[in-house]
Amino acid sequence: MTTHSPPPARNAAAERAWGSLRQIVLGGNERRKEVVEALGMSFFRVKALRRIAREPVALRDLADELLTDRPYTTLVVADLAERGLVERTANPVDRRSKIVSVTAAGRAAAERAERILGAPPPALLALPEEDLAALDRITALLAGGPPHGPGR
Amino acid sequence: MTTHSPPPARNAAAERAWGSLRQIVLGGNERRKEVVEALGMSFFRVKALRRIAREPVALRDLADELLTDRPYTTLVVADLAERGLVERTANPVDRRSKIVSVTAAGRAAAERAERILGAPPPALLALPEEDLAALDRITALLAGGPPHGPGR
DNA sequence: GAAATTAATTGGACTCGTACAACTACTTCT
DNA sequence: AGAAGTAGTTGTACGAGTCCAATTAATTTC
């Protein structure tokens, strides 16, 4: 197999770009705290809520996607349920499993979080029209490539 | 003052791009675990070490930059010192404060972390030449704009 | 020179998330 | 039907970070 050696200029550009990307997203990252304060729960729970709001999930799959174990997922979901943000319903096809879905209040909270996290930083809005368009196109390409999780 | 209403098309593009940016950096984010495993310490400590390696700091400033308090910073630095990665020396101009700096071993460890974290994802390397160049240029613009902390 | 400030440290209580072990209810395999 | 496996739950132990109070040594202020 011809694994031709990596062109040095490309690598340099890619590394520089990657460094910038990390700084942009992780640098002024303090939106996490903002969301945590706004919703009054840990960021981990916000993450769980957002996932559930996207589409109902079995508890087991939720645990997998959150990269945590089933016991803790039970606890987190129970907490969200006590807050009236999610509810668990029995899965008709397999009565062992429970499907977790958002309530109206939960959807509202998730959208609130999404609004805070999804607000683009000022520097992005200040970008020249054509640069913004190019960035939009290229990042869509990058984000589209590797799908988040295995399709289930 | 004429705060003209935000052009809707721009905002849409910016929000979409911001979403993609977050997904690119945070989505395949599991390099954190890789670094943690490679260096045998928490990501927080890695972050502290990388900061110290960049330039010697007074403990107080280190605490500020890590967004944590002085007591915990003392503990973390003590741990890094026990590992032989950093050392504290008295500040000649103010003998209350201590300057924390890396040892040779600490620098090597920090560079190892940097190498892991700084490796661009495959999708980035697979980008067409001109797109990569454009991304490099635009992200540099974005990252350069807002400096992280007040210069101190 | 005495009083108020500041840097670092020590120590405590507390929250959050991870990792296991054990149990119940349900399902699937043979 | 019985055995084995799976989903969710309960409970326990632990590490990591945050928060707050108090102490010591050095500095600055009056």
Mind listing the domains of chain A with CATH numbers?
30-139 (1.10.10.10)
Interface of A with B in 40-79 (CB under 8 A): none
Chain B: closest CA distance from residue A95 (Å):
33
Helix (H) or strand (E) holding B88: strand B86-90
Residue A152: pLDDT band with limits 50, 70, 90: very low
Alpha-carbon torsion (B77, B144, B39, B44), positive or negative = positive
The pLDDT score that the predictor gives to residue A27 is 83
Q: Please report, for chain B, how many H helices and E strands are present, in that order.
A: 8, 3
Per-residue pLDDT tens over the stretch B123-150: 999 999 999 999 999 999 999 865 444 4
Length of chain A: 152
The answer to whether residue B149 neighbours chain A at the CB level (below 8 Å) is no
Task: Average the pLDDT over A116-120 and give the result.
Answer: 94
Distance separating alpha carbons of residues A120 and B12, to the nearest angstrom? 10
Q: β-strand A86-90 against B57-58: which pairing, if any?
A: unpaired
* Chain A residues closer than 8 Å to B15 by CB: 118-120
The reply to whether the CB atom of residue A94 sits less than 7 A from any atom in nucleic acid chain C is yes
**Non-local CB neighbours of B143 within 8 Å, separated by 6+ positions:** A19, A20, A21, A23, A24, A27
- In the sheet that holds B57-58, the strands lie side by side as B57-58, B98-102, B86-90
The answer to whether residue B125 neighbours chain A at the CB level (below 8 Å) is yes
Closest Cβ opposite residue A15 in set B120, B123, B135: B120
Nearest Cα residue to A129 out of B124, B127, B138? B138
Distance separating alpha carbons of residues B111 and B117, to the nearest angstrom? 10
Q: Residue A76 phi/psi, 5° resolution?
A: -65, -45
Residue A7: pLDDT band with limits 50, 70, 90: low
Task: Average the pLDDT over A27-34 and give the result.
Answer: 83
| Whole-prediction pTM | 0.87
Q: How far is the CA of B98 from the C1' of D27 (A)?
A: 14
Tokens of B22: 């977050």
The answer, yes or no, to whether residue A146 has pLDDT greater than 60, is no
* Chain B residues closer than 8 Å to A129 by CB: 10
Distance separating alpha carbons of residues A14 and B118, to the nearest angstrom? 10
Helix (H) or strand (E) holding A70: helix A70-82
CB contact under 8 Å between A16 and B140, yes or no, is yes
Low-confidence ranges of chain B (pLDDT < 70): 1-8, 29, 145-152
The answer, yes or no, to whether residue A150 has pLDDT greater than 50, is no
The answer, yes or no, to whether residue A1 has pLDDT greater than 80, is no
The pLDDT score that the predictor gives to residue B105 is 97
Give me the DSSP letters along A104-134.
Answer: HHHHHHHHHHHHHHHSPPHHHHTS-HHHHHH
Q: Please report, for chain A, how many H helices and E strands are present, in that order.
A: 8, 3
Alpha-carbon torsion (A59, A65, A71, A72), positive or negative = negative
Q: How far is the CA of A94 from the C1' of C27 (A)?
A: 8
Which residue places its CA closest to the C1' of nucleotide C10? B71
The answer, yes or no, to whether residue A47 has pLDDT greater than 90, is yes
* Chain A residues closer than 8 Å to B26 by CB: 25
Residue A33: pLDDT band with limits 50, 70, 90: very high
Contact between A131 and B138 (Cβ < 8 Å): yes
Distance separating alpha carbons of residues A66 and A48, to the nearest angstrom? 7
The answer, yes or no, to whether residue A151 has pLDDT greater than 80, is no
